[in-house]
Structure 1
Amino acid sequence: MPDIELTTAGDEKATKLHIMAIETCLLKARQDIDKEKVKKQLEIEHRIMEEQKVLYWLCEGFERFLRLQAYCPQLLFVKGDIDLSRPLVTIVGTRNPDEYGMEVSKRLAFALAKAKVTVVSGGALGIDTCAHEGALEAQGKTIAILGNGIARPHPAQNKELFERILGSGGALISEYPLLAKPFKWHFPERNRLLSAISDAVIVVQAGKKSGALITAQFAKRLGKPLFAVPADIWFEKSLGCLELLRDGAIALVHPKDLSVVESLAFLEKANVEWPSPRYRQFGTSNPWAKIGEAQEEAPVDSKVYNVLLRRPLAIDELVVSTGLSVPEIQAELFTLEVKGLVRRMPSAKFCASPHDPSKFFGKEDGVDD
């Protein structure tokens, strides 16, 4: 991959593009362009660039972005070490995955990072966060391409994650000025970069209207290998992936499936850590049960159980969500596990089990234990 053109806050050409980026953000937010206001913001952002070692990336000669044609970015902001000598794989999906989606995303990123592949994602909650976390657990490199300014971490919950990405030799990249807010239209725009920069794109879990499908659409346009993870055909967050598979995306059930991509062919013979198929261990919540119904029918009065009905959590996260002490939570978890209402996941998190599947199925549905 060719070298990229990085430069500092003092670069004249990049500074002009920086001003254009600030003005574009103001226009899209339907705000008037006040030259003094723009000048002041530029001065502040230049100071932040120097303090936080943020660089300009002039993109006009970067071949992968040139393939975006009219959508090619002119300038990006980069914080951290952007090493493009390794293969890059983008992993994306819903912000609200089930535990299956979370585990697949994390384990997939872990396996790829162990194989010296850089994991790229969007820094959002859900699948993105799991992908970054998996790469970091493998002590590998990961890049977050953001839909907001680098100096304005979003989501706020991931501030510490972004710091760990930088500390591990990864990078944060954004098309937007450092102080730009996370406007909703930024994220569809950002998704084209997630596709363009990588050797392959994987959609782990996505509903029918997921933004991850925009990333997939750009992958198709650019001729990038597009993979989708098969999943539960009755789960709403699977519908986007199922549609991609119908339309020709490659089914990904093992990291070695990526070896059909030329730059990732080495994965075929790589020692990749991946679970063997067996009885499903993730305890996925019943997709027919709405949270409200489940809470109304809950067989126990438990803060821990009610929180776990929403999403899987680790003990330290349960402390924050419930306000209970660690010993209190451990005692409740033990009771709930004995009753079969909670399961321990491989990731050290706990998830609620469907407490009475028969309430959501008719006799003809044939519920299996």
Structure 2
Amino acid sequence: MTGSLQIKNGKYYIVINDCANGKRRQKWLKTGLPAKGNKRRAEQMLRDVVQDYERQRGIIRSDVTLADYVRQWMVQAKRRVDEVTYQGYETLANGHILPYFDANGVKLQDVTHRQLQAYIDEKAAHGRKDGKGGLSARSLRLHKNILYQALTEAVKAGLLPSNPCQHVELPSATRHEAHFYTAQQLRKLFDAISDDPLYPLVKITALYGLRRSELLGLQWDSIDFERGTLTIRHTVTKVTTAVAKDKTKNASSYRSFPLLPEAQRIFLAALNAEKENRRLCGKDYQQNPYVFKWPDGRPFSPDYVSHHFAALLHKHSLPHIRFHELRHSCASLLLSQGMTLKDVQEWLGHSDIKMTANVYGHLDIARKQSIADTMGSLLSSNSDVRER
């Protein structure tokens, strides 16, 4: 397949020559570009059209590099995955994968397991942009996932006999130790930030153990004041500079809670503040259904919440935890009061109890102590229970 530019009636046309099955076919496509002063734009359009035709037909030049093939795969991936996922792909590809393999120059048809393993090993040792060592095991898993998916498509298209990324090994994950606040520390935090705009967000997160995306995704239809329920239906995440709306993380994330009295007071205060802000801002108020936002109606961004929370802890000389670790704090308090891991799984919206056990199993002290006390009482020398 080849392409060329032709001028007809003072405008550029793209001419595609397709020689499939030994038959030569020609297709003319309008560019809409006047011939005068638009040669470079027309040439770029020609390149884009030819590449798109090749992608649709599964045509890959024998000299295509791995980096260029990943670029082509990214175009397809953008149509298949949600915007947040694609943004993650794009960040990793542009920041790491493409620069490395552009410099490497390896062709798609020549790529080996050893070369892909060398990439992962290099990033594990020196992948951080700040020069402070390697990337995390979690990050490297995403790198491998992109390469694996792209090369799987190459196998399906008959461009490779097998996927050389299949048996690439990742470094062992270093378990992150979750930090959390005690009930006393949380009360001290609430007192310290009671006049800050972030206070209601912190309080609701601690009460319900919400994910940050779930907290910012709360809409007024999530709160039923009459029935006294709070339902998690939406999430908000950040895509580049825009706030993107998304469904909940998984089916278990969609859940309802009793509306605690303290939460009801917070939501009613937010509702009254919104009514007043609408009146003050008039037509400049940004209409949206979200609960937590600035006085002019703009929703809080996820980054603002995390960064401002860290600044508040520093300002009030409180122990540093991440905003997400308010969720851990909620879980730890539930377990300390004798709730089971199953209870915590349902409260936090985990899809699998294994996840709950992996993160919080070591905190399940109260229940284990209760079991130990029961067994100790039953089998102590002073017990009336005798073996029969």
Q: TM-score, normalised by structure 1?
A: 0.30
Higher helix share: 2
Q: Which has the higher contact order (CA 8 A, sep 6+)?
A: 1
Which of the pair has more CA radius of gyration? 2
TM normalised by structure 2 equals: 0.29
